[in-house]
Amino acid sequence: MTRKALLKDATDIYRLINHYAKEGLLLPRSLNSIYENIRDFWVFEREGQVLGCAGLHVVWEDLAEIKSLAVREDCRGQGIGPSLVEACLREAKELGVKKVFVLTYACGFFSKLGFEEVEKTQLPHKVWRECINCVKFPSCDETAMWMDLERAFVGQSLGV
């Protein structure tokens, strides 16, 4: 089941994110950062175990980012990632966000969910405040993608 994260989930979220951060696929997050931003996170839980997580971070009045999408390796391919993305998109829509973006290596995954590639220069400078601390800055090799929620939700499902 996909649900909003609780404080008790912080350690599991930390482990998931940093597992993929060690592989260079996600930015590492401190446990403190996860606690401070716990309200951004969604988790997928089955039988009391957190199997995946994703965060929705509002950047500006009409823009949000899906961050830290991670699914336990032994649970990939079970629809957990799409379920987490859909939860983030629904929350963004409820908040009145018009566009949701991701910075990702998983272009195929996000493309299947309706995201489109976009030039990084189309994202506001405010987006890059976290990038300054990244080991890959200024040579970021992630792809920027976004979804226009006004178009994506007009009488149609997300396709997830």
Query: Encoding tokens for residue 11?
Result: 């350690």
3-state secondary structure (DSSP) of residue 80: helix
- Residue ranges covered by each domain of the chain: 2-152
Q: Does domain 2-152 have CATH number 3.20.20.450?
A: no
Q: pTM of the predicted model, to two decimals?
A: 0.88
- Strands (DSSP E) contained in the chain are 2-4, 41-46, 49-60, 63-71, 99-104, 116-117, 143-148
pLDDT at 155: 43
Looking at residue 16, its pLDDT comes to 98
Phi, psi of 133 (to 5 degrees): -90, 0
User: pLDDT averaged over consecutive 10-residue blocks of the chain (160 residues)?
Assistant: 98 98 91 97 97 96 95 96 97 95 94 92 65 60 89 54
